[in-house]
Amino acid sequence: MSQQDTNVKKLKDGLGPGAWAVLHTVAATFPDKPTTSQQRHVKQFIHRFAEFYPCQYCAEDFRESIKQNPVDTSNKEALSMWMCHRHNEVNVKLGKSSYNCDRIWEKWGASKPGGEGHISQKTEPGSNLDDLDDADDDDDFDTSFKKGDDCGFCEENMGSDRYQQLKNLLKK
């Protein structure tokens, strides 16, 4: 196996756990009382995530699970439990142990429902996030951050060598 193949395998091996970490963290920091807009946006995020996930087999499986079990964005607890159940479905298919969904708050470092979460219950004054026009999704994103800009987060957390490998793979 070449060094590049080894590096690609390492990245792929980390893809699933990293993806689940993002999804669980989004769920665990979701508001207890989300706005209609927040509910719609997190559903869109999960659907787009399933659409563009790099492993096509996994993406298709996740999309099918979403069809059979629609995303529940009624509140933080509902979304977190929904996510935990989807993760457990995958773990069972992979022959891994399931998570105790009652303990997800400990695992993902967020407050239990009713406590403070990461995402505000209401949008900040002057924010137009609740007024986003879904017909023009380009308006939903901060376009000031251009490809190639780097905040340093990835390199700091991945290490310089691994970060450079990832950047090189993404340039292809």
Topology of the domain covering 15-141: Four Helix Bundle (Hemerythrin (Met), subunit A) (1.20.120)
Vertex 60: Cα angle to 85 and 20 (nearest 5): 40
Distances (CA, A) of 133 to 15, 51, 71, 165: 32, 21, 21, 37
The 10s digit of each residue's pLDDT in 98-128 is 989 988 877 776 566 655 444 433 333 333 3
Q: What is the DSSP string of 15-59?
A: HHHHHHHHHHHHHHTS-SS--HHHHHHHHHHHHHHHHH-S-HHHH
The 10s digit of each residue's pLDDT in 65-103 is 999 999 999 999 999 999 999 999 999 988 889 989 988
Where in the chain is CATH 1.20.120.310?
Answer: 15-141
Q: Which two tokens stand for residue 145?
A: 């951050």
